[in-house]
Amino acid sequence: MTTEISTGTKPPLRVIVVGMGVRSMIYTRVALTNPELLEIVGVVDVDEKRREYARVTFGLDKTCCFTSVEELVSVPQFADAVINGTMDRLHVSTSIPLLRHGYDMLLEKPFALNEEEARELLECVRETGRTVMVCHVLRYAPYFQRLKRAMESGEIGRVINIRMSAQVNYFHESVSFVRGKYASAEICGSGMLLTKCSHDLDLMAWLMGENHPRRIASVGSMFQFVPEQAPEGAGTHCLTDCPVERDCPYSARRLYIEHPQRWADNVWHDSNMRRPETDEEKQAILSAPDNPYGACVYRCKTDIVDHQSVLIEYADGATGTFSMTGGSSISERSIHITGTRGEIYGTFETGRFTISTIAPEAPEGRIRHVVDVTEAQEGRHHGGGDREVVLDFIAYLRGEPTSPGKTLIEDSITGHRIVFLAEKSRLANGAMQNW
């Protein structure tokens, strides 16, 4: 479902961007394509280059460019809302003063790193009466919108089991979760299940609706990216001391120089560097002893898991499973829902899912039909959800019709709690956790 917003005589929503990183840059494109709906009027970022990018891109006055949230809340409120795209560990500490200063908020996921933080932010939302919408953008993809309607139609009956999986491809895994800024809970504040898969578990919670979990268990570990799995003779650094670098799929030279389309931009962005113009520059940067993006993936000493499975028992007795595997050859989100009268199964990346219903009179004993949304989401990152969540946020604050999947924080907490309890279970060797 695409959110329809009437332009009419209503002024654009005036927004301040807090944290001008990659995600914020994506969300603020609406201000460039539809200035009648969204106007960026300020920016907060510790990095001068990013502040300058925002100032030039959106024509901001220097008095509206701040280095911290503390600076912003020291002046009178001058916008309707903020887009909070700070790093995960800063979400709660930056959000609370902004809410108390009168700003509504579009907040990047995950909105909190643990139950204590989540409770603190939810209490602030209730106290201030402000709106917080969380960027669970996959809810807005045509694929999942249509799948949700199919479930609600009753065509497959009551859900017995919902099974979801996420395959994280090897170059995304290595650049973000082994070598990069999400490779350590100490750096990013959380594990891979929350950082990467809060999308997926939010989707599961949304699809199951009011049927909330009763008990949760989880297991997982670092299986692949450990010293014991390093190729025989491997060094410690791809470009300086590794004689088997040319045969390794995780060679920094191959991933970030020879095939730079494979998440290489994250290397330069997350290292807070401009994108190098020549291969020689890239090699020099990656060869630095302290640059993690040139380090051997098997010796990075990452402390998060590279695979994890979650088991959920729901209030009515239904079950759910979710599995995340990092280091796969493809990036894929798959789903298989079994009901009392049929099934739904498919993969997000294909843009298609099949509905198969029990039919004793049919030659195969079932009737199948395929739902195809490829045309609606082809070529659109996250199926177009990045743009749609911004439009939904604008519509909600303007009192206009919104998506049935709107991601208010009061609803988003369910998927977050699944992650929190799953992590608690994993750390307790898979012990079942009560909801």
Q: For residues 282 and 291, what is the distance between their CA atoms, to the nearest angstrom? A: 12
Instruction: Write the single-letter amino acid at 231.
Output: P
Percent of the residues in the chain that have a pLDDT greater than 70, as a whole number:
97
* 3 state SS of 102: coil
Per-residue pLDDT, 384: 83
Compute the half-sphere exposure of residue 38: CA atoms within 13 Å on the CB side of its CA: 29
Residues in the chain: 435
Q: pLDDT-derived band of residue 148, with 50, 70 and 90 as boundaries? A: very high
Rg (CA), the chain: 23
Tokens encoding 7: 């332009």
Tokens encoding 101: 């200063």
Instruction: Write the single-letter amino acid at 225.
Output: F
- The pTM for the full model equals 0.91
Could you report the per-residue pLDDT of 311-335, keeping only the tens digit for each? 999 999 999 999 999 999 999 999 9
Tokens encoding 58: 């959106």
> Quick one: angle between helices 142-152 and 192-208, nearest 10?
40
Q: pLDDT-derived band of residue 303, with 50, 70 and 90 as boundaries? A: confident
Report which of 232, 219, 203, 243 is spatially closest to residue 385, judged by C-alpha positions: 203
- Angle at 369 (CA atoms; ends 365, 371), nearest 5 degrees: 155
Indicate whether 269 pLDDT > 90: no
Could you report the per-residue pLDDT of 117-138, keeping only the tens digit for each? 999 999 999 999 999 999 999 9
Tokens encoding 2: 């695409």
